[in-house]
Amino acid sequence: MVCVPEAADDGHEAAAGSWLAGLGTVVREWGRIGITGFGGPPAHIALLRRLCVDRRGWLDAAEFEDAIAACNLLPGPASTELAIFCAWRVRGRAGAVAGGLAFIVPGLIIILVLSALFLAGAPPLWVRGAGAGAGAAVAAVAAATGWSLVPPSWKRASAREPVRFSRGRWVGYLLAGAGASATIGPWLVFVLLGCGAVELAWRRVSWRPSAVPVIAPLFLKPLFPAVLSGGILASVAWVAFKVGALSFGGGFVIIPLMQADAVGRGWMTNDQFLNAVALGQITPGPVVQTVAAVGYAAAGLPGGLLAAVVAFSPSFAFVLGGGRYFSALRENRAAQSFLDGAGPAAIGAIFGAAILLARVLSVGWQFAVLAGAAVLLLALRRGVVLTLLSGAAVGLVVAFAGGPLPR
């Protein structure tokens, strides 16, 4: 049986006093997911479904699927937006804020602590070895992630009419995203937006603001004085803003958006960037936490915290400002058409990110780790965390055996 609030606003947010659960319950349950949610978005979605649909009955299955689809139509980390939306449905705006923070903060604390260890000026030998091994496997993780997204996206394109044109455009968007990711990473966002705009124009679908309110202005206003003050914190805020508000696909799509700034501005070396990406994969909670490691490398703890705040604020704004319209968003032809263009481009960007990550490997044994990781992920279907930890173990053996490590 699905619990229904006694009074509701447009059938979505319960009136005060008729919440589905208390604030303490939201903090506890969403915090548990934030601590145990290893494995990225698939794991987060499964845990949220088990909690909100199967175990507690706070949402029915249809609404949960609608929420997944709507979050995938929005820029930014989709599983984070889904977690905030579910908390909003259970306990209103206060629940959305509390649940979202409970989901994000545990992983943020862990990645900042690990950043202090892995990004130190002179890290211990075992840290260098583990980082070099795990970092070598990251490109394979990116490739496997992109490959897992191809079948559903291709099926979606194949369902369109006429099929041959839809498939041709799908391939074109994929190649555009891959090429942009591997060559003009910082400007990838414009390619993603452009592919979406092309698909909109092709189908001659016009956006109707009355159908789904435009909520972007909620997070475009200057919320953080550091963004306006200039200097390194402003640069960190801009990188985080691209990650949280302008990227479709989440996960590895954010890599080309960050790498040019992180490495090009001298905040990190290529090997440290690989370490940061690996940390984002092996820690619980949102994969987008990687941006906090980049912020930490740039400006210490203030930079890491600022990057996290800027990157995740749009997700809160999307849900708080437009959560009640998520069902309509899924049915909106313009939004669907835009994603039909931006979606394949985002998948291509993930493959391009794999190229970028493989290109920075510098020691021979790392390529062997990369090949082994590809076998584990693609052939043996092992998990991401196990694969990265296996790579780290190889790196430890090499380091203690006196083998070469990246400088």
Q: Fill in the amino acid letter for 40.
A: G
Q: Grade residue 205 by pLDDT with cuts at 50, 70 and 90.
A: low
Q: Which of 182, 142, 178 is nearest to 373 (CA)?
A: 142
CA distance 78 to 381: 23
On whether the CB atoms of residues 278 and 138 are closer than 8 A, the answer is yes
Pair 323, 85: CB distance under 8 Å: yes
pLDDT of residue 5: 41
For residues 219-228, average pLDDT? 43
Mean pLDDT, residues 293-322 taken together:
94
Residue 9 has pLDDT above 60, yes or no: no
- The SS3 of residue 206 is coil
Share of the chain above pLDDT 70, in %: 87
Higher-pLDDT residue of 98 and 3 is 98
Q: Is the pLDDT of residue 277 over 80?
A: yes
- Per-residue pLDDT tens over the stretch 138-192: 999 999 989 988 998 888 777 766 666 678 899 999 999 999 998 887 788 889 8
**pLDDT, position 2:** 39
Those residues whose C-beta lies under 8 Å from the C-beta of residue 273, and which sit 6 or more positions away, are 258, 259, 262, 263, 294, 360
**Amino acid residing at 208:** R
Contact between 86 and 67 under an 8 Å Cβ cutoff? The reply is yes
Rounded (5°) CA angle 311-314-316: 110
Peptide bond into 162 cis (omega under 30): yes
pLDDT of 227 reads: 45
Residue 13's DSSP bridge partners are 9
Arithmetic mean of pLDDT, 7-26: 65
pTM reported for the whole predicted model: 0.83
Structure confidence by residue, pLDDT tens digits, 40-75: 888 899 999 999 999 999 999 988 988 988 888 888
Give the model's pLDDT for residue 26. 97
pLDDT of residue 72: 83
Q: How far apart are CA 225 and CA 234, in angstroms?
A: 9
Minimum mean pLDDT range among 102-111, 173-182, 226-235: 226-235
Residue 404 CA to residue 407 CA, distance in Å, equals 9
Beta bridge partner(s), residue 9? 13
Distance in angstroms (rounded) separating the CA atoms of residues 186 and 253: 11
Q: What is d(CA 24, CA 6) in angstroms, rounded to the nearest whole number?
A: 20
Residue 8 pairs in a beta bridge with 14
Residue 10: the pLDDT is 40
Angstrom distance (rounded) from CA 165 to CA 40: 33
Question: 402 — phi, psi (to 5°)?
Answer: 85, 20
Element (H, E) at 159: none
Q: Write the pLDDT tens digit of every residue in 232-265.
A: 999 999 999 988 887 776 678 888 889 888 998 9
% of the chain with per-residue pLDDT over 90: 53
Span 352-407, pLDDT tens digits = 999 999 998 989 999 999 999 999 999 999 988 899 999 999 999 999 999 999 87
10 or 253: whose pLDDT is higher? 253
208-220 tens-digit pLDDT: 544 444 344 344 4
- CB of 365 within 8 A of CB of 167? no
